[in-house]
């Protein structure tokens, strides 16, 4: 068996995205992703997926060149290559990450997101070469299915008039009744039994009313609210007091470890984050100040599936919960998330996934949710197959774009509907 990497293919694509609202604005009609293929000398191909904006593509290209000739099993070496790849400073200095909403952007965070796409592709190729599923390469699954929660968004029925887009049948959700209807559809279509509402969109009282309406409509179901750090400490504590009885956790109510620690000290409601703990370096301060009770891992942030397991082990050691964050992603990443989640013993909460919002994919068969769960594949590798026609179609869309959609920009998308819109300063309320 020859595990030498003979070729690496990078295919940037644009995938359809609905008009989902968040505190920065609204999703653009198409969003960039990068599909990574790693081919061994024996002709085995592994696939991975990560962010596709230019700032990720730039370091991904030299990374791909350096990978050729190495072993697909040399996963630790990926971090060595990452250190050798330069990141254009202007892409990161002083920039808050728009796409992932994960605090201040740094060159290392960017590199780790690139590594994650290659690591998943290498694991897929290695698994296929050895005849083993990815979860076996990570030490083996401890569950046969992984539970996901419904990721509810305030949204418009359609993108603004005149904007080229794909349509969907979800309808608008801009008030409590709309949110409950969306949750009902999620339950009916996918069987989800826990619900997360993306907040920070409307004044807190309106979002409190939406969560109360969910609690009334789905008694006993776990509920979460995530305003992406849009609130002050005072507002966060008020919301925590009002919703204390119905929330499983409150996600990133305020921005940064200090504000989160203050909120945490003033409420019994557990706080979760995918914003103030997104790298290993941020763990010590956050945990020692008891700023968060649940870390939402994301293999795209943390540098892949093996780092996600390390994060879970650290959380277990410190008695902090762990679950998974999601951004816009396709089936390759859902498969990767499912494999790693299946190996984490201390996964106490249903994971997030945007996947139901993505009507397009690059796979021959979409992954499915049964009773809110994705079955863990025992097929070699990730257990997914790339559909080359679909990949080319979505790549063609990227090629044809004049550049406007190649960088995710929720504020720019909002300006189409509200010309005066600027990204709100924080705390917004
Ligand atoms: O849990 C989160 O913070 C997210 O998923 C951040 C994302 O950017 C989400 O808000 C989005 O896609 O609008
Ligand atoms: Mg979040």
Tens-place pLDDT, residues 4-34? 999 999 999 999 999 999 999 999 999 999 9
Do residues 103 and 94 lie in contact, with contact meaning Cβ atoms separated by under 8 Å?
Answer: no
Any ligand 1 atom below 6 A from CB of 226: yes
Q: Which of 198, 221, 329, 349 is catalytic?
A: 198
What is residue 95's predicted lDDT score, i.e. its pLDDT?
65
Distance 5 CA to ligand 1 centre (A): 34
Q: Whose CA is nearest to atom 13 of ligand 1?
A: 22
Q: Pocket of ligand 1, candidates 30, 101, 300, 423: which has the most ligand atoms within 8 Å of its Cβ, to mutate?
A: 101
Distance 228 CA to ligand 2 centre (A): 6
Residue 153 CA: which ligand 1 atom is closest? 13
Q: Whose CA is nearest to atom 12 of ligand 1?
A: 327
Any ligand 1 atom below 6 A from CB of 22: yes
Any ligand 1 atom below 6 A from CB of 228: yes
Residue 296 CA: which ligand 1 atom is closest? 1
| Class in CATH terms, 5-135+387-400 | alpha beta
Second CATH level (architecture) for the domain 140-375: Alpha-Beta Barrel (3.20)
Residue 100 CA: which ligand 1 atom is closest? 8
User: What residue spans in the chain does CATH classification 3.20.20.120 cover?
Assistant: 140-375
66 catalytic, yes or no?
Answer: no
Any ligand 1 atom below 6 A from CB of 198: yes
Per residue of the chain (429 residues), what is the pLDDT tens digit? Answer: 999 999 999 999 999 999 999 999 999 999 999 999 999 999 999 999 999 999 999 999 999 999 999 999 999 999 999 999 988 877 786 666 665 567 778 889 999 999 999 999 999 999 999 999 999 999 999 999 999 999 999 999 999 999 999 999 999 999 999 999 999 999 999 999 999 999 999 999 999 999 999 999 999 999 999 999 999 999 999 999 999 999 999 999 999 999 999 999 999 999 999 999 999 999 999 999 999 999 999 999 999 999 999 999 999 999 999 999 999 999 999 999 999 999 999 999 999 999 999 999 999 999 999 999 999 999 999 999 999 999 999 999 999 999 999 999 999 999 999 999 999 999 999
Residue 151 CA: which ligand 1 atom is closest? 5
* 227-265: pLDDT as tens digits: 999 999 999 999 999 999 999 999 999 999 999 999 999
Distance 409 CA to ligand 2 centre (A): 17
329 catalytic, yes or no?
Answer: no
Distance 307 CA to ligand 2 centre (A): 19
Any ligand 1 atom below 6 A from CB of 101: yes
Distance 191 CA to ligand 1 centre (A): 22
User: What residue spans in the chain does CATH classification 3.30.390.10 cover?
Assistant: 5-135+387-400
């Amino acid at each position: 068996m020859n595990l030498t990497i003979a070729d690496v293919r990078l295919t940037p694509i644009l995938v359809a995205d609905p008009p989902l609202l968040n505190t920065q604005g609204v999703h653009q009609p198409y969003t960039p992703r990068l599909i990574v293929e790693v081919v061994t000398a024996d002709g085995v191909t592994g696939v991975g997926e990560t962010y596709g904006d230019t700032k990720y593509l730039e370091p991904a290209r030299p990374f791909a060149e350096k990978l050729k000739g190495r072993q697909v099993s040399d996963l630790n070496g990926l971090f060595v290559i990452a250190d050798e790849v330069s990141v254009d400073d202007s892409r990161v200095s002083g920039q808050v990450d728009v796409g992932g909403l994960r605090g201040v952007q740094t060159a290392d965070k960017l590199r780790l997101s690139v590594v994650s796409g290659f690591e998943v592709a290498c694991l897929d190729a290695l698994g296929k070469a050895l005849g083993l599923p990815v979860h076996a390469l990570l030490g083996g699954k401890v569950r046969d299915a992984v539970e996901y929660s419904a990721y509810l968004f305030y949204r418009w029925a359609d993108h603004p008039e005149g904007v080229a887009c794909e349509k969907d049948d979800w309808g608008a959700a801009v008030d409590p009744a709309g949110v409950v209807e969306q949750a009902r559809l999620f339950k009916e279509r996918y069987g989800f039994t826990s619900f997360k509402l993306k907040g920070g969109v409307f004044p807190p009282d309106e979002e409190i009313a939406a969560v109360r309406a969910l609690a009334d409509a789905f008694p006993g179901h776990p509920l979460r609210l995530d305003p992406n750090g849009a609130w002050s400490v005072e507002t966060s504590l008020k919301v925590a007091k009002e919703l204390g009885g119905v929330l499983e956790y409150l996600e990133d109510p305020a921005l940064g470890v200090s504000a989160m620690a203050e909120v945490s000290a003033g409420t019994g409601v557990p706080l979760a984050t995918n914003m103030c703990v997104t790298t290993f370096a941020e763990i010590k301060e956050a945990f020692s100040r008891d700023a968060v009770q649940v870390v939402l891992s994301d293999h795209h942030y943390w540098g892949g599936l093996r780092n996600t397991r390390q994060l879970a082990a650290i959380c277990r050691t410190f008695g902090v919960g762990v679950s998974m964050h999601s951004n816009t992603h396709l089936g390759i990443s859902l498969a990767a998330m499912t494999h790693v989640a299946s190996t984490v013993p201390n996964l106490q909460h249903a994971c997030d996934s945007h996947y139901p919002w993505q009507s397009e994919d690059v796979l021959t068969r979409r992954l499915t949710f049964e009773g809110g769960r994705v079955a863990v594949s025992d097929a070699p590798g990730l257990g997914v197959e790339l559909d080359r026609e679909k990949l080319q179609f979505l790549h063609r869309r990227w090629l044809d774009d004049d550049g406007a959609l190649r960088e995710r920009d929720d504020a720019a998308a909002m300006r189409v509907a509200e010309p005066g819109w600027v990204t709100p300063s924080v705390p917004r309320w």
